[in-house]
Amino acid sequence: MTDPRIDYDSAVATGRGDDGTTALLFGGVRVKKDDLRTEAYGAVDEAVAALGLARAELSVMAADGTMTPRLERLAGLVLRIQRELFVVGAELATNPEARDKARDDVTRVSERMVEGMDAMLREVEAQIDLPQEFVVPGETRLSAGLEMGRTVLRRAERRAVTLSYHDEGLAGSRLLPYLNRLADLLWVLARAAEQAEAHAATVVRPERKRGSRGEAEPERSER
């Protein structure tokens, strides 16, 4: 029987992963595709793709003439975040025994990247009105895309936390603080996107009706 892994006429497919393994960076060590490490950087890859939906929506706005300076600034931030997430993915995909070969801002999250997240968070928070309650995603397509990116990123964070408890390869890493700050930033960016399109966030608890004196009326049972 002919080995299906050979004679590939493709620039992408090699067949080496047909056995369910994949290679880590720096050394070619192969691990299973459901390894904790691959689960973590796979979730990061999903987050990049989810944020691509938000950036695609911004591209539509640019094409139809509805792009504003605030939204243009947001488009730049989303692209910056996507690019930085490739650094996160590279660090997670690095062979733990070859961490010394990783480079800050290229294949390893740096302190500068964490500080950059903090700076962006402060900047955006100062420009918007923050809701005082939990909100329901979906007010606009753009904000929904950012929320999707945020929730997938939280999953990537959870996988990275699990990995950190089972693998010393993340000892001393700035990756977990970065993911945590970024997830917060994406929530804030979703609110900024809504307000840039003149929409108010939908809160979880419906606003109570007001009585004749402006007092909140008690909620009535729907039963």
- Where exactly are the structural domains of the chain? 21-203
pLDDT of residue 217: 42
Reported pTM: 0.82
How confident is the model at residue 206, as a pLDDT? 78
Which has the closest alpha carbon to 193: 135, 132, 116? 135
- Please name the residues in contact with 172: beta carbons below 8 A apart, sequence gap of 6 or more: none
Buried b (16+ CB within 10 A) or exposed e, 158-183: ebbeebbeeeebbeebbbbebbbbbb
Q: Which residue has the tokens 């691990």?
A: 31
Per-residue model confidence (pLDDT) at position 212: 46
Span 175-212, pLDDT tens digits: 999 999 999 999 999 999 999 999 988 898 876 544 44
Distance CA 219, CA 40 (A): 44
User: Do the Cβ atoms of 156 and 91 come closer than 8 Å?
Assistant: no
β-bridge mates for residue 23, sequence order: 30
Alpha carbon distance 63, 43 (integer Å) = 31
Question: What is the structure's pLDDT at 172?
Answer: 84
User: Could you tell me the mean pLDDT of each successive run of 10 residues in the chain, 223 residues long?
Assistant: 54 67 76 83 96 94 89 94 97 86 93 96 94 90 96 96 83 93 97 93 73 45 42
CATH class of the domain defined by 21-203: mainly alpha
**pLDDT value, residue 132:** 85
Give the tokens for residue 208.
Answer: 């109570």
Looking at residue 209, what is its pLDDT? 47
Sequence-distant (6+) residues with CB within 8 A of 165 are none
- Rg of the chain, C-alpha, whole Å: 22
Per-residue pLDDT reduced to its tens digit, 87-114: 999 999 988 888 888 899 999 999 999 9
Do 191 and 143 touch, CB atoms closer than 8 A? yes
pLDDT at position 12, please?
Answer: 66
pLDDT at 20: 76
Contact yes or no for 78/54 (Cβ under 8 A): yes
